[in-house]
Structure 1
């Protein structure tokens, strides 16, 4: 009796084995990207705070560009803050973050610090050097017992657990055309004002909102997160995204010459803001390097 496995059976078992391996790899990759894998929790080096992160943010220029030479000098402070995230988070120790403002401030600062850390590590390369958005999902960091990619932190935590569309304008994407990195950490006691300021900065930038006759050119972020913005309107999802834009446009352009104001939008689009065409424009994904900007 020939005990050997027939060739057709060997091929079938090989195909099953390959499929099982691919399925396992795919599942692992999904868990990794979505931040569903555990991470070791080190002992906290001391009380959690934002002092080290604030030191790193001293190298953010008023324009939002970054002084990478200065950041490299203060890299140890940024690394200490990123390391502190591994031991503490609102998910692991909710008693340390008893209010929604304390939790949200933590997550915004954590996200921005991780993006900033990646830029410092990769400099002079930035987001543009990563294919298919890998900058945001290609690396996971230990955060309070979870292994989180910036993508998971944004999608699952910040936009999944907090229904505040202003958060979109507080998240630093590591690009010159995205939301600007502020020069100070977000603090729970000032969070509402800081989120309003971040929204106004974004709307007051001609790269994000620009009127041209009866066309409003909007950053693609307004298309990507449109449902978030509409849900915040009194009219709900039946409203117009320009109503959300209008709420944060400046009344004057004294600080940002050339910007568009609420009055400009009213005159171009009518009182219901329904007479204008909306055109979504791509984001400038170049590195927000202050030295490069100075040479322009």
Structure 2
């Protein structure tokens, strides 16, 4: 005579839903953090920046980008980004033997991916709306040297973690007028230090990012968001003042840009220790730096 089997126990529907939700959240976290592996295709040619340099010809002298033209000739940009799947300092350190090689690679990679994402959405993407919601900075991942990296992972897990240089924040193009602007040339290891200094001068010299009015200094919100990174670069460390970093990139004179703010102006307004000024952080202008949009303005 067969012994009756014990009835099967079923998990409550609520428990099943919780398990599914946990798995979905775990997958989303891995996606955002760039912890999902990617296939590494065999490279047909050595790594180079030639195609990316061609794509940057559509960047105007003032930092605006002719996205329409870049989209019509997007093959060069796409070819460069396709090559990133095979090469990175993480999986091919032999190709990027110095810290300058590695940092130049990651900066160029970040900026190229931002450009591709804008081109993909152009002309409907007029502004990066509410980036903290993830539609732009962690909503998409690319295969990069055996990893699938979002823009968020590139900035926070790679650049901020591996390179203690706050100038990177002034060099990362985020498709916004109130942010770092492209200058039409890619970062090159042999000139990287001077290029980063120039990116700092370009950012600080833009009145959307730094503006002095009497005893008040208006600063881009980036200086508040990445304050700890900027202070860590100062000799005084966290006991310093973020205006010391700003001061270093202000010009001595305004020969090239009449009416600009200079180091002497900041000294007079804030005192020798730069601690007498009131700092007001400005909201970022997320309008797309589109050359066509600017041309259409009256």
User: Which TM-score bucket, shorter chain as reference?
Assistant: over 0.9
Check 1:162–1:90 CA distance in 2 against 1; reply closer, same or farther (3 A cut): same
Counterpart in the other structure of 1:278: 279
Kindly provide the CA deviation profile for residues 16-41 of structure 1, in whole angstroms up to 9, marking residues without a partner as x.
21111111000000000010000111
Whether contact under 8 Å (2:177, 2:289) holds in the other structure is yes
Match of 2:164 in 1: 163
Q: How big is the shift at 1:128?
A: 2.6
Which residue does the alignment assign to 2:216?
215
Matches within 5 A, 1:99-178: 99-124=98-123, 125-129=125-129, 132-178=133-179
Q: CA deviation at 1:173?
A: 0.4
Map 1:13-52 → 2, pairs under 5 A:
13-52=12-51
Matched residues, number: 292
User: Partner of 1:218: helix, strand, or coil?
Assistant: strand
Q: Secondary structure at the match of 2:218?
A: strand
- 2:258 pairs with 1:257: yes
Deviations 1:17-74 (A, max 9, x none): 1111111000000000010000111111201000000000000001110112221232
Give a deviation string over 1:206-232, Cα, whole Å, max 9, x none: 110001111100000000000011011
TM-score of the aligned structures, taking structure 1 as reference length:
0.95
| Unaligned segments of structure 1, at least 5 residues | none
- Contact 1:175–1:287, Cα closer than 8 Å, also in 2: yes
SS of alignment partner, residue 135 of structure 2: helix
Deviations 1:144-166 (A, max 9, x none): 00000011001100111000011
Alignment RMSD, CA only? Answer: 1.6
Contact 1:38 1:145 in 2 (8 A): yes
Q: Distance in 2 between matches of 1:126 and 1:187?
A: 30
Q: Normalising by structure 2, what TM-score?
A: 0.94
User: What is the SS of the residue equivalent to 2:128?
Assistant: helix
Instruction: Give the superposition deviation at 1:127.
Output: 4.2
Secondary structure of 1:243 counterpart: helix
**Any conservation in 2 of the 1:55–1:74 contact (CA below 8 Å)?**
no
1:268 and 1:98 mapped to 2: Cα distance?
A: 45
For structure 2, list consecutive stretches of 5 or more residues without a partner in the other structure.
none
Check whether the contact 1:206–1:258 (CA below 8 A) recurs between aligned residues: no
2:201 maps to 200
What residue in structure 2 maps to residue 90 of structure 1?
89
Q: 1:203 to 1:295 in 2, by over 3 A?
A: same
Q: CA deviation at 1:126?
A: 4.2
Moved over 3 A (4+): 1-5
- State the partner residue of 2:57: 58
Distance 2:257 2:159 in 1: 29
- The Cα shift of 1:4 comes to 6.0
- How much does 1:195 deviate? 0.3
Correspondence list, 1:73-84, <5 A: 73-84=72-83
SS of the equivalent of 1:23 reads helix
Structure 1 residue 249 displacement after superposition: 0.6
**C-alpha distance in 1, partners of 2:6/2:46?**
67
Give the secondary-structure state (helix, strand or coil) at the position aligned to 2:177. Answer: coil
